[in-house]
Amino acid sequence: MVKLILLGIWMVITPMLCAYGFARPGKRYRSLGLLPMGILFLWASFQLVSVPFILKEADYGVLKTVTVLIWILAALYGAFRMVGDRKTLKEELVNGLQELKSKDALFLITLILALGAVLFQVFMAYRLVYADGDDSYYVVMGSIAESNGLMYTVDPYTGQGFGGLELRHCFAPFPIWLAVMSSLIRVHVGVAAHSMLPLILIPVTYLIIWKIFRILIPEKAPLGVLFFAVLQIFGNTSIYRNSTFLLTRTRQGKEALAEVVIPFFFLLFLQIMKELKEQDKRPRFPYFPMILTVVAACLCSTMGAFLVCILAGCLGLLTGILYKRYKLILWTFLCCLPAVFYVLLYIKLV
Amino acid sequence: MPETFLILKEYFGSILFLGSYVLSFAYLCVTEKKKEIRIALVYYPAMMLVLFLLPPVHKLVSAVMNDTAIYYRLLWLLPASLTIGYAGVKVISELKNKWIRIPAIVLCLCVLVGTGDYMYDNPYFSRAENRFHIPGAVQLICDAISIPGREVRAAFPPHQVMFVRQYDPTILMPYGRNIQIDGWDKFPEQYGFYEAMSQPTIDCKTVAEYAVETGTQYVIVHMYQPLEGTFEEFGYQAVANVDDYVIYCSTGSELFSLW
């Protein structure tokens, strides 16, 4: 029970408070969701701090202290703003409940069914084991950091030293982030990876999907989420699909990329297009969430930097051209520069 | 057929799922009027697919990533489930009669279930024996051989190799899961030992020789594993039976005195 409370503090409350600082009521990033943005904040900040530490072969303990300090400061700032906004938050909550009460029966039934489908997946992720060989690399890399303080210098498969840095994977240190989280939750890295992370990441994915359907078809969003959830539960048509990664490899950075970062990037562009559509409102480019997403993609997988650039390139180009907002293409490109930097660094060093 | 088409086919896995995506995509192509949704679910996926199928892009991505096996991940950028989900909701929304909507939703759900494959039927799923999600036997063996504050080296049966260090990274192994992926040509120094431990009948002499050569203090074998000779003849003594497995310890190791 204590571990679950700690999980709630470090993977729900802390990220939400971190995100609150830049997504307060009435602010433009509010609609993107506090928890998904908070999780991306944790990942992006960790990526920025950890890669130099790893490349310098610095101590894992110091890295942990620095990143946790950043998260605590960001969360304190968010908490401070939240106290100031308590009246607005109360109003927002009351309005939300009233809006829910005004919905028809079909909306509520599909909402309950969608929630049930999500909880079912979370329960199955806890109850069932999916034996995936890649865990013997990723989970163990985190365990080594936590037990020996070493990052990417020991072969996780055997425990032999690499005789230097393992450059192929060290630019995407998601396992090290997992190790930090496990130490904050006070559980073994294996337990954090297999039993705890899915409890958070699966709902985070569905929060993003909910936000996407709220833009696509607001009055029928729960039905959209329900269909999406059924597609995931019955998505075992191949081992390569993102739905397979969501339900079988939730603890790996690849899953976080496929089912959190990429859908969030998609949500960002839908939000941009929604604002462009509302002609009376002059939209501003969401620099901050976009940079967070790009950097978070780099943490999840080495290929994340590459994928996010392709996604941004295609969506940025289409949106910019079709809405005749050519500057948007430039802003999108600028936001992708961190990923370009990581790709170039990877090409140079590997 | 170009390689990229084969990757696309393998990614979707089932013709029914691919068909439902193509149908949904075509339906949105024809009926969707909102510009932002056309960009997100029609133009963008079309652009993405064309890019994916181009052999030069395949070559470029594989060259940059130094890996040809991960090109399929580009398809994660394709919003297939979102498109199918949205198309389903759109079809239902366009039904005028409210009472027809409920059977239509049920029908849609049946189609999604029918064109898919239940995830938890996957044979790689099994009931969790502990919160580490590793076999209970591995946990018990690791607990038996590990010593706080120091590393030990142990050779496990091949099917347990991937779990050991997830539970306890202080247990070193003479061969790891890498041998199961990349084989002997990348890790020739590990392969002999691994192969000796993978035989239907384990030759105790060969295994003991590899164990001594690699400084492996423990050898773990299943209690019903057929053996040629005995480990005792070659300096390894059975020290414990843990959950159907026998733990052999090198008599020459300082760890032997701890048993």
Q: What is the pLDDT of residue B155?
A: 95
Q: What is the pLDDT of residue A313?
A: 93
Q: What is the pLDDT of residue A281?
A: 58
Quick check: helix, strand or coil at residue B132?
Answer: coil
Confidence grade of residue B253 (pLDDT, cut at 50, 70, 90): confident
Q: Which amino acid is at B2?
A: P
Q: Output b/e per residue, A205-233; b: 16+ Cβ within 10 A.
A: bbbbbbbbbbbbbeebbbbbbbbbbbbbb
Q: Which candidate from A213, A232, A314 shows the least CB-CB separation from B47?
A: A314
Query: Which of these, B4, B237, B243, B226, lies nearest to B138 by C-alpha position?
Result: B243
Confidence grade of residue B118 (pLDDT, cut at 50, 70, 90): very high
Q: What is the pLDDT of residue B1?
A: 66
Show me where the domains of chain B are located: 3-121, 136-258
To the nearest whole Å, the CA of A228 is away from the closest chain B CA by: 5
Which residues from chain A sit within 8 angstroms of residue B17, using beta carbons? 235, 237
The tokens describing A120, both together, are 């079912």
d(CA A38, CA A24): 13
C-beta neighbour count of A199 within 10 angstroms? 18
Which residues from chain B sit within 8 angstroms of residue A311, using beta carbons? 77
Q: Is the pLDDT of residue B160 over 90?
A: yes
Q: Is the pLDDT of residue A280 over 60?
A: no
Provide the domain limits for residue A108: 2-349
Q: Which candidate from B51, B133, B179 shows the least CB-CB separation from A195?
A: B133
Q: List the single range of A106-120, B33-47, B90-104 with lowest mean pLDDT.
A: B90-104
d(CA A268, CA A211): 10
To the nearest whole Å, the CA of A313 is away from the closest chain B CA by: 10
**Phi-psi region for residue B227, left (φ > 0), alpha (ψ -120 to 50) or beta?**
beta
Q: Which amino acid is at B199?
A: Q
Q: What is the pLDDT of residue B184?
A: 67
Q: Is the pLDDT of residue B68 over 90?
A: no
| Interface test mutation site (partner B, options A241, A329, A332, max chain B beta carbons within 10 A) | A241
Q: What is the pLDDT of residue A283?
A: 67
Q: Which helix (H) or strand (E) holds B200?
A: none
Q: What is the DSSP letter of B156?
A: P
Q: List the single range of A27-31, A115-119, A337-341, B240-244 with lowest mean pLDDT.
A: A27-31
* B17 has a chain A CB within 8 A of its CB: yes
Q: List the single range of A64-73, A174-183, B79-88, B97-106 with lowest mean pLDDT.
A: B97-106
Mean pLDDT, range A269-284, rounded to an integer? 78
Closest chain A residue to B171, measured at CA: A159
C-beta neighbour count of A350 within 10 angstroms? 15
* B124 has a chain A CB within 8 A of its CB: yes
Confidence grade of residue A266 (pLDDT, cut at 50, 70, 90): very high
Confidence grade of residue A26 (pLDDT, cut at 50, 70, 90): low
Angle formed by the axes of helices A302-322 and A287-300, nearest 10°: 150
d(CA B230, CA B212): 15
Q: Which candidate from B11, B39, B93 shows the least CB-CB separation from A217?
A: B93
Q: Which candidate from A133, A220, A350 shows the least CB-CB separation from B162?
A: A133
Mean of all residue pLDDT scores within chain B: 91
Where do we find the tokens 């999916």? Answer: A130
pLDDT (tens digit per residue) in A215-227 = 999 889 999 999 9
Quick check: helix, strand or coil at residue B150?
Answer: strand
Give the percent of chain B with pLDDT over 70. 98
Q: What is the pLDDT of residue A329?
A: 92
C-beta neighbour count of A87 within 10 angstroms? 9
CB–CB contact B119 A188 (8 Å)? no
Which residues from chain B sit within 8 angstroms of residue A224, using beta carbons? 85-86, 88-89
Mean pLDDT, range B120-140, rounded to an integer? 93
The tokens describing B179, both together, are 């041998």
Query: Which of these, A171, A137, A173, lies nearest to A154 by C-alpha position?
Result: A137
d(CA B64, CA B49): 20
Q: Alpha-carbon dihedral of residues B182, B187, B191, B194, nearest 10 degrees?
A: -70
Q: Which candidate from A135, A209, A244 shows the least CB-CB separation from B166?
A: A135
To the nearest whole Å, the CA of A141 is away from the closest chain B CA by: 9
**Taking a C-beta distance cutoff of 8 angstroms, is the pair A223, B105 a contact?**
yes
pLDDT (tens digit per residue) in A305-327 = 989 999 999 999 999 999 888 88
Q: List the single range of A167-171, B138-142, B177-181, B232-236 with lowest mean pLDDT.
A: B177-181
Q: Which candidate from B88, B102, B118 shows the least CB-CB separation from A227?
A: B88
Q: What is the C-alpha R_g of chain B?
A: 27
Q: What is the DSSP letter of B207?
A: H
Query: Which of these, B169, B53, B238, lies nearest to A146 by C-alpha position?
Result: B169
C-beta neighbour count of A67 within 10 angstroms? 21
Give the percent of chain A with pLDDT over 90. 69
Closest chain A residue to B10, measured at CA: A238
pLDDT (tens digit per residue) in A50-63 = 999 999 999 999 99
Q: Is the pLDDT of residue B143 over 90?
A: yes
Q: What is the pLDDT of residue A282?
A: 65
CB–CB contact B36 A277 (8 Å)? yes
Q: Which helix (H) or strand (E) holds B85?
A: helix B80-93
Total count of domains within chain A: 1
d(CA A40, CA A29): 13
Confidence grade of residue B232 (pLDDT, cut at 50, 70, 90): very high
User: What pTM, to 2 d.p., does this model score?
Assistant: 0.93
- Please report the sign of the dihedral spanned by the C-alpha atoms of residue A1, residue A225, residue A41, residue A191: positive
* B109 has a chain A CB within 8 A of its CB: yes
Closest chain B residue to A277, measured at CA: B36
pLDDT (tens digit per residue) in A69-107 = 999 999 999 999 888 888 888 888 888 888 888 888 888
Pairing state between β B227-228 and B202-203: parallel
CB–CB contact A128 B127 (8 Å)? yes
The tokens describing A308, both together, are 């996010």
Q: What is the pLDDT of residue B220?
A: 95
Is pLDDT larger for residue B253 or for residue B24? B24
Mean pLDDT, range B164-170, rounded to an integer? 94
Mean pLDDT, range B104-111, rounded to an integer? 93
Mean of all residue pLDDT scores within chain A: 91
Closest chain B residue to A175, measured at CA: B166
Q: List the single range of A27-36, A162-171, A298-307, B186-195 with lowest mean pLDDT.
A: A27-36
Q: What is the pLDDT of residue B81?
A: 94
ipTM of the assembly? Answer: 0.92
pLDDT (tens digit per residue) in A115-165 = 999 999 999 999 999 988 899 999 999 999 999 899 999 999 999 888 888
Bridge partners for B220 per DSSP: B247
Instruction: Note the residue count of chain A.
Output: 350
Q: Output b/e per residue, B144-179; b: 16+ Cβ within 10 A.
A: bbbeeeeebbbbbbeebbbbbbbbbbbbbbbbbbbb
